[in-house]
Amino acid sequence: MIGDSHSQVIFPMVSSALSSAGHPVSLQVSRPGLSEKAFLNDADLWSQIAYAKPERMIIALGGNNMEGASYVFTTLGPLISRLREAGVKDILWIGPFRADEAKAPSTAARHATTNGYLTGGLLTRGVTFVDVYDLMDLAGSNDGVHLTPAAYRRVVEQIKPQLLAWARGEGSTALVLGVPRLYVFAGAGVFSTLLFALLLRRRSRRRR
């Protein structure tokens, strides 16, 4: 499991849930400020992956992405390809958390944009995407970005069924819509493009 500052709180809970269900975690790294681009270029992280040899990986990144639309092709795609080359066969990606537009407007905008990039970029690359964007409870947040421990726990409890289903190898080619949403698609091409457009249309209507 590799993630940013949010994962410092959620990963211990996720690890406990997985281990209790018979799925021990061999690698757990949480680095505040970590972005996908930084991950891609971090030799130490890749050395840890090479040593642990995980076949499945949970990634919780996106909140620190500073790139534009090209990010899907210049960073996200190469990152996933390199993980595959390192022996990671199955990836579950926990998306960025919604930020408070009043307290942290620039961060809120980046998180919303990156969440959209990930929805499509991961769909067409056979990666399981758990969209937690609309699950945020920012009450009590000091900076409008990071949640209280209780709020993080509620998020993990809500996505735990999806995490455990993924750990069991279930739903690897299905598309499930709901709250929380679990996007899983193993194909590519015209159908996935249309599917991505439909999902973005649903999201834009919901935010109006």
pLDDT at 173 (0 to 100):
34
**199 or 156, higher pLDDT:** 156
Predicted confidence band of residue 183 (pLDDT cuts 50, 70, 90): very low
Lowest model confidence (mean pLDDT) among 84-93, 121-130, 143-152, 156-165? 121-130
Lowest model confidence (mean pLDDT) among 19-28, 67-76, 85-94, 168-177? 168-177
37: helix, strand or coil: helix
Looking at the chain, the whole-number percentage of residues with pLDDT higher than 90 is 74
Alpha carbons 94 and 80: distance in angstroms, whole number: 14
Q: At what angle do helices 7-20 and 149-167 cross, to 10 degrees?
A: 40
Res. 175: pLDDT tops 50: no
| Token reading at 27 | 């690698």
63 neighbors 111 (Cβ within 8 angstroms): yes
**144 or 194, higher pLDDT:** 144
The string over 21-41, giving b where at least 16 C-beta atoms fall within 10 Å of a residue's C-beta and e elsewhere, is eeeebeebbbbeebbbbbbbe
Beta strands 56-60 and 90-94 are parallel
Model pTM? 0.82
